[in-house]
Structure 1
Amino acid sequence: MKEADWSLGMQLSRSYLSFKRAATKRMEQHGLTPEQFSVLSELHKQEGISQKQLALTTERDQTTVGKILDKLVKKGLVIRSADPRDRRAFILLTTKEGIQTIQLLEPTLDELQQQAFSGLSKKEIKQFIKTLETIYKNVT
């Protein structure tokens, strides 16, 4: 590999865009985008959080998360409910249909992840994830 090919930004971008294209292909038949799925999936892990908390968790701005949530609400996958602790705020909940959609897509996305890691040992995958986490911590 030439030193010019070592550009971290380029390598991360290429890999991310390729993975996202493949994920988009698998999700489009279910009417979701990878962004919508990631928000839905993260919400399901933390039922009852606020839009602000969800934005922080997914590292997106609140406006973007709000637009994604609007689409998920229209699709019947998420509901906004009044926060019993604060009448001015809403909590977010995954609907039964949302949970079913997650369960339907998870095996497909697991398969895609296995494809992405093809040819790597478990040790190499663990090291790769650890390296990505270190890079993330170094730049945040």
Structure 2
Amino acid sequence: MADRNDAGGEAGAPSPDEFDEIEIERIGEFLSKKGGVMLLAELQAEPKRFVVLREDLKISSATIRNRLEDAKELGLVSDEPDYNSQGQKRHPLTAKGQVIADELQLTDLARIQKQIWKLEAEFEDHLEEFEATLAQKTTELNDEFQREVTKRYS
């Protein structure tokens, strides 16, 4: 099977067809967890600090920590932190993590995941509005019912 190295890709970087089936399955499980796809997408261009990931991903700190640990166990994020010019710890992808992040971009999964999150947030906003309206209508209906009962039995 041809891989990126055969096609003039970056030497030394693993290609997706060099991963075994079990590893691919484990990576698939990681990507299906909340924040998995987006974590790799956020780290694709450069290592980032935890606080930046928290701001950009808009998921809980615990979820980000869990995904970082999962990614480290899978060899997608380096165990060795990277430090910026201010000495702040950043989380870099490994060569394997970079290959997966690049594939995510090529297949548009990160963009689709962002759209899903946006739609989920929009749904939550509309659901809150609906619940507020329903609560208001329920009060109005109960008040009307009480007036009718009072009128009939007074």
CA radius of gyration, larger in: 2
* Structure number with higher strand proportion: 1
TM-score, normalising length: structure 2 = 0.46
